[in-house]
Structure 1
Amino acid sequence: MSSLSVGIRTEEFHTPGPADFNLPGIFDSAVTKPMVLVVLSGVIAFGLFYAMSRKSAVVPGRLQFAGEYVYDFVRNSIARDTIGSHDYMRFVPYLFTLFLFILINNFFGIIPVIQFPTMSHIGYTTALALLTWLVYNGVGIRKHGFFGYLKHQTVPTGITGPILIALVPLEFFSNIIVRPFTLALRLFATMFAGHLLVILFSLGAEYLILHYEPHIVGVPAGTVSFILAIGVSFLDMLVMFLQAYVFTLLSAMYIGTAIADEH
């Protein structure tokens, strides 16, 4: 498209899209940036909490207090309140690890130089969702037995009669099949969309300020786009935390439902 009255030439502006998330290998290898970030998140989590717990004291220092605060949040506000006081403690290590892992990988998206949320790749969110699926189905089968668990998940308590012909397949589809997909898609979609918006406003600001003509229009418009990129980044920080929380909370809910005495 040639330059018209609006001044912008579309062939000069790279419109961000899904292709921007398919990063090339590092040094022409099969190892990509998201792979490195996933490993790095594990190292950061281990190093951070090792430092927080290395000098444990009755009166905690700042690092110890921060670590205990995060742990207590997952243990009390997610695990105990959702699973119940009788069974929750054995699932706290998994839920705590899950929350911290997702949170760190999400916040990679706002760290300068790194600036890539790992969970914007659906493969990682799918792996975490399948892990939760195995955990809650596994503990449910262990408690109720295989056929008892199927009944527990597909036959609502107090419902009898012909209506079960319709309800049982729906409950099976909802509780057994759909849950891992919704877990994976929710986390992936929010991280993908948030990062895409940041890329769009950032690249738009650069193009408008440096390349758009007339500059008297491009510079103010680019400045507004840059301010929007900063605003979206702050909003994305809140979403990053909320999505780690929601994923962990739903995992706890599914575990609690699987081991409950009644459906």
Structure 2
Amino acid sequence: MEVSVVPVPAGPLVLADEGFKGPTKEVFQPPHWFDVDLGPVHFYLNKATALGIFAALFVGVVFWLGFRRATVVPRGLQNVCESIYDFIDTSIARDVIGEKGRKYTPYLVVLFSFVFICNVLAIVPGAQFPPTSRIAIPIVLSAVTYVLFNHAGIKANGARAYFGHMINPAPTAPVFVKVLLGPIEVMSTMLVRPFTLAVRLFANMFAGHILLLVFSLGAEYLLPKPPFVFGFASLLMTIVLTGFELVIDGLQAYIITILTAAFISGAIEAGGGHESSPATDHAPAASGAPAMSGAPAGAHA
């Protein structure tokens, strides 16, 4: 029997290039740190859920520290917290809902702050993952908003008037128009609004994180390889997209907050709700007295 021996060239062993590896599902489904089964209920903790819990605790602690020793003239953290609260109260709650929107300001402030912190975690070193890129958190936020705006509509109009307006949104229209508009309005209010509210936030954060991962992994793969121009181009795009992602983080937090306020306003005004609307809030008083020029937007005269 003859055995052929293939000569091995001298020199260092060169490993074959396995090629570029893009993001995998483990990015959005990280391994569980621990699992606990309590009957039919399964509890687990991983990076995604831990960052969501961190965001909630962070928002709570910051506002607690900001207002625990509040002074007449705000300073430091209190000034930051009051600025956020005043912005949401004036620019969203009262401008969109009306003067009675002030009672919804605390929820809108918490919603905006929590979503913003969750989003920003995508570009924070060590975290580098937005919890809102998993559909569970947007669904929970959408469900809370769903309950809130339907409760506001029922409280302002009564259940009969609220759901009656939903079923028959155009009482003076021809019958065929009523038959067409009724199901559309019911579907829009009861299904489409909460669905789009959740999907909009989830899809934007998911897509943004994927883009950042692709270019950052591309830079890591291409930088050591000549020609180095492609690696530097990927690195530059990663830096640009990081700045762009920060803008999107704030914009998405603002959008979900203002849409929530719009849903509450629409529910209150359905069927001629008794609560004040933005249109009446901006109008002068019935006695003819002019509105105060220094009052915040949406305030009464």
State the TM-score, normalizing by the size of structure 2: 0.78
Partner of 1:209: 223
**2:12 matched to which residue of 1?**
none
**Offset at 1:62?**
2.4
Aligned equivalents of 2:167, 2:86: Cα separation in 1: 34
Answer with 242-251 or 48-57: which moved more: 48-57
- Quick one: distance in 1 between partners of 2:252 and 2:236? 24
Alignment match, 1:132: 145
Deviation track 1:12-36 (CA, whole Å, cap 9, x = no partner) reads 3212254421111126772111211
Per the alignment, in what secondary structure is the counterpart of residue 45 of structure 2?
Answer: coil
Output one character per residue of 1:167-215: Cα deviation in whole Å (capped at 9) or x when no partner: 11111111221001100000000100111100000000001123xxxx3
Pair 1:250 & 2:250 matched: no
Change (3 A) 1:167 1:42: same
Alpha-carbon offset, residue 55 of structure 1: 3.2
- Greater displacement, 109-118 / 134-143: 134-143
Contact 1:153 1:258 in 2 (8 A): no
Please say if 1:107 is aligned against 2:117: no
Moved more, 153-162 or 244-253: 153-162
Change (3 A) 1:164 1:27: closer
2:97 corresponds to which of 79, 83, 86: 83
Name the stretch that deviates more: 242-251 or 152-161.
152-161
Letter in 1 for 2:126: V
d(CA) in 1 for partners of 2:148, 2:156:
12
- Counterpart of 1:172 (choices 179, 186, 200) is 186
Aligned counterpart for 1:161 among listed residues 157, 170, 174: 174
Aligned to 2:234: 225
Q: Distance in 1 between matches of 2:198 and 2:140?
A: 8
Question: How many residues were matched structurally?
Answer: 249
- 2:27 paired residue among 1, 20, 32: 20
Task: Look up the equivalent residue of 1:125 and give its one-letter code.
Answer: P
- How far is 1:262 from its partner? 4.1
Structure 1 portions without partners, runs of 5+: 1-8
User: Could you tell me which amino acid in structure 2 is paired with residue 242 of structure 1?
Assistant: L
**Worse-superposed segment, 136-145 or 170-179:** 136-145
Residues 11, 145 of structure 1: CA spacing in aligned structure 2 closer, same or farther, 3 A cutoff? farther
Q: Deviations over 1:133-171 (max 9, x none)?
A: 111112212332323211223433564222111111111
Pair 1:147 & 2:160 matched: yes
- The CA distance in 1 between the partners of 2:96 and 2:46, in whole Å, is 37
| RMSD of aligned Cα (Å) | 1.9
Moved more, 201-210 or 15-24: 15-24
Q: Is the 8 A contact 1:17 1:196 kept in 2?
A: no
Instruction: State the shift of 1:95 in Å.
Output: 1.0
Between Structure 1 and Structure 2, which shows a larger proportion of helix residues? 1
CA displacement at 1:97 relative to structure 2: 1.0
Q: Which amino acid aligns with 1:155?
A: N
146-155 or 225-234, which moves further after superposition?
146-155
Q: 1:261 & 1:148 partners in 2: Cα distance?
A: 8
How far the C-alpha of 1:132 sits from its partner, in A, is 0.4
Distance (Å, rounded) in 1 between the aligned partners of 2:167 and 2:90: 29
Q: Which SS does the other structure have where 1:15 is aligned?
A: coil
Pair 1:28–1:255, CA change in 2 (3 A)? closer
Unaligned runs of 5+ in 2: 1-15, 37-43, 273-301
The equivalent residue for 1:234 is 243
* Higher alpha-carbon Rg: 2
